[in-house]
């Protein structure tokens, strides 16, 4: 839930339906230990069994399912953002290690 100064009624709020709320990075609260903001994943290189799959170009919210959009030389792979696939996220190294089910990369081609 979010309360914005100067928006005090539903009719005031309706003017902003669909609008993006942006907060400067330096004003964000630090995430809890082991957590992160999804925008921090953009630009991370993604690896599966030591093989580079590509780079995260976007984090998509598909109505209840979050998906990493990974690109390598124009080849896109969509990886569900689920603990069963994500093995390690290292923001300092800009690296994400995943364990993909067989056929997922080919499914995206």
Q: What is the mean pLDDT of residues 4-12?
A: 90
What's the predicted TM-score (pTM) here?
0.76
Return the CATH number of the domain spanning residue range 36-107. 2.30.30.240
Contact 70, 42 (CB under 8 A): no
Strand arrangement, sheet containing 95-98 = 75-80, 66-72, 51-61, 45-48, 95-98, 86-90
Cα gap 97→82, rounded to integer Å: 12
What are the tens digits of pLDDT across the range 29-62? 988 887 888 899 999 999 998 899 999 999 998 8
Maximum C-alpha span of the chain:
53
* Domain ranges, ordered by start, for the chain: 36-107
């Amino acid at each position: 839930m979010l309360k914005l100064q100067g928006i005090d009624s539903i009719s005031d709020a309706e003017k902003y339906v669909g609008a993006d709320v942006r907060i400067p990075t330096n004003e964000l609260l630090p995430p809890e230990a082991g957590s992160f903001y999804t925008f921090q994943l953009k630009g991370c290189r993604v690896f599966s069994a030591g093989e580079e799959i590509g780079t995260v170009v976007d984090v998509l919210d598909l109505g209840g399912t979050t998906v990493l959009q990974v690109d390598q030389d124009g080849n896109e792979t969509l990886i569900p953002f689920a603990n069963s696939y994500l093995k390690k996220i290292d923001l300092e190294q800009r690296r994400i290690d995943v364990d993909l089910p067989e056929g997922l990369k080919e499914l995206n081609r």
